[in-house]
Amino acid sequence: MPEISEGTIEIKAIARDPGYRSKIAVKTYDGRIDPVGACVG
């Protein structure tokens, strides 16, 4: 993802339930960017 490689979005934490799901907590300091929307979309 370009936003993560550029440093616009930061990964704060990762949790994984093997074979079921993974969750990633993301954060941005730029109020114009929705970090969840950028990662999901």
Torsion on CA atoms 17, 21, 26, 31, rounded to nearest 10 = -150
**pLDDT surpassing 70 at residue 41:** no
pLDDT tens for 3-32 read 899 999 999 999 999 999 999 999 999 999
pTM above the 0.85 mark? no
Phi, psi of 9 (to 5 degrees): -115, 135
Question: Which distant-in-sequence residues (6+ apart) come within 8 Å of 18 by Cβ?
Answer: none
Question: Which distant-in-sequence residues (6+ apart) come within 8 Å of 11 by Cβ?
Answer: 4, 24, 25, 26
